[in-house]
Amino acid sequence: MNAIEDILEKAPEIESRLNYHFQDRNLLTLAFVHRSYVNENRDTNEHNERLEFLGDSILGMLIAEYLYRYLPGTPEGELSHLRSRLVEASSCVQYVQQLEVEQYLLLGKGERMNDGRGRESILADLLEAIIGAIFLDGGLPAAKAFLFKNFSPAIDSIL
């Protein structure tokens, strides 16, 4: 069994940690494939960077909407500052670590042996890829439910 098949086999466990069930588990699998893995393995030629790109935008939009609705009267500059704090890499790392899913991330040998250099960035990217995958699988309501069901306390603590 290759690593991609291993993720598919562990999908129910991962979905339980995410509090989201995928209709298309290929999206779930893709979210956990880092570029470094693709560079060193031939069992896939796709990685999660496009999902990460999409998830980054969705995360920013959902947080912006949340701040707009729940902080009426707050000036735009302050809202922008709060949004940037809630979507910055260190916050995304906190969110993904709360899910306890980083062990499923497929990395190339070089990244695995990197002693943590760049790890924060990789974990932040993983969260964005998961959000992108959930958005494609279940739409904006699913992405919003995932974000706020899992991270409302963390978001409130940052605020």
Task: Name the residues annotated as catalytic.
Answer: 56, 128
Give the pLDDT of residue 82. 95
Whether the model clears a pTM of 0.85, i.e. scores above it, the answer is yes
Give the pLDDT of residue 132. 98
Give the pLDDT of residue 118. 58
Write the CA distances from 73 to 67, 70, 78, 84, 87, integer angstroms. Answer: 10, 9, 10, 18, 21
pLDDT in tens, 73-115: 999 999 999 999 999 999 999 999 999 999 999 998 877 776 5
> What does the pLDDT average to over 15-39?
95
CA distance 120 to 108: 16
pLDDT of 116 higher than 80:
no
Confidence of residue 40 (pLDDT cuts 50, 70, 90): confident
